[in-house]
Amino acid sequence: MSPRKSVAETRLTRRRIVDRGLAIASMEGLEGLTIGRLATDLGMSKAGVLGHFGTKETLQLAVVDEAAQVFTREVPERVPGGPTGLARLRAMCEAWVAYLERHVLPGGCFFTAAATEFDDRGGPVRDAIAGMSAVWQRDLRIQARLAVHNGELPADTDVGQLVYDLVGVMLALNHFLQLQCDPAAPERARRSLSRLIG
């Protein structure tokens, strides 16, 4: 019924699958993302969907990668390219809050959901998630260290501790937004941030 598409269209089909897969996974979880559901949503056969990846795990990895690209596009790439150090750290956190506030994905922050879903398992999917999380936290740490080096933060600042607190602010933001639908949460997050990196 559906013959071969040109190379450009083929890539486009793959992108359609991954995009829709990310939307589903952000709501139902990476395990709740099923081939059949994906095929139905896209008006394709299950074989047609799986043909692009071969395996559900590969598809999950593609979705995680897509989520990482979305996050990169929506957060770090929106950080203006001003001076490094405290200003950049602040801008990164503000972009982070705005990203959660904007409800970019229908199911809240994909990485928060995926991390808690896979945090007690093994395998490449868990590793990919943990890796993305680690990269972002490393970037935070770098700017925090620069801020200390610039004298913008106290010299005895525990950078690891600061990143821990920043992550907590974001996890709480996601929690209060998604579970309690608390519209005051972003303001709370910003207040916590200004207390941490004023």
Partner DNA sequence: ATAGCTTCCGAACGATCGGTTGCTATATTC
Partner DNA sequence: GAATATAGCAACCGATCGTTCGGAAGCTAT
Q: Which stretches of the chain bind its own copies, using CB under 8 A?
A: 27, 29, 31-32, 106-108, 112-113, 115-117, 119-120, 129-130, 133-134, 158, 160-161, 164-165, 167-176, 178-180, 184-185, 188-189, 191-192
**Considering the rule CB under 7 A, would residue 10 count as an interface residue with DNA?**
yes
Q: Does 62 bind DNA (CB under 7 A)?
A: no
Among 22, 24, 25, 49, binds DNA (CB under 7 A): 49
CA distance 95 to 122: 31
Among its own copies, DNA, none, the one that 116 touches (CB under a kind-dependent 5 to 8 A) is: its own copies
34 binds DNA (CB under 7 A): yes
Are 133 and 111 a contacting pair, CB within 8 Å? yes
Window of 6-14, 82-90, 114-122, 172-180 that interacts with DNA by CB under 7 A: 6-14
Contact residues for 191 (Cβ-Cβ < 8 A; gap 6+) = none
Q: Which of 45, 133, 137, 174 binds DNA (CB under 7 A)?
A: 45
Amino acid letter, residue 13:
T
- Choose among DNA, its own copies, none what residue 124 binds, the Cβ cut-off being 5 to 8 Å by kind: none
Q: Which ranges in the chain belong to alpha helices (H)?
A: 7-28, 35-42, 46-50, 56-74, 86-101, 110-118, 124-149, 159-178, 185-197
With CA atoms as reference, report the closest residue to 33 among 62, 12, 74, 68. Answer: 62
End-to-end CA distance of the chain: 60
- Binding of DNA at residue 5 (CB under 7 A)? yes
- Site of interaction with DNA (CB under 7 A): 1-10, 13-14, 33-37, 39, 43-52, 54-57
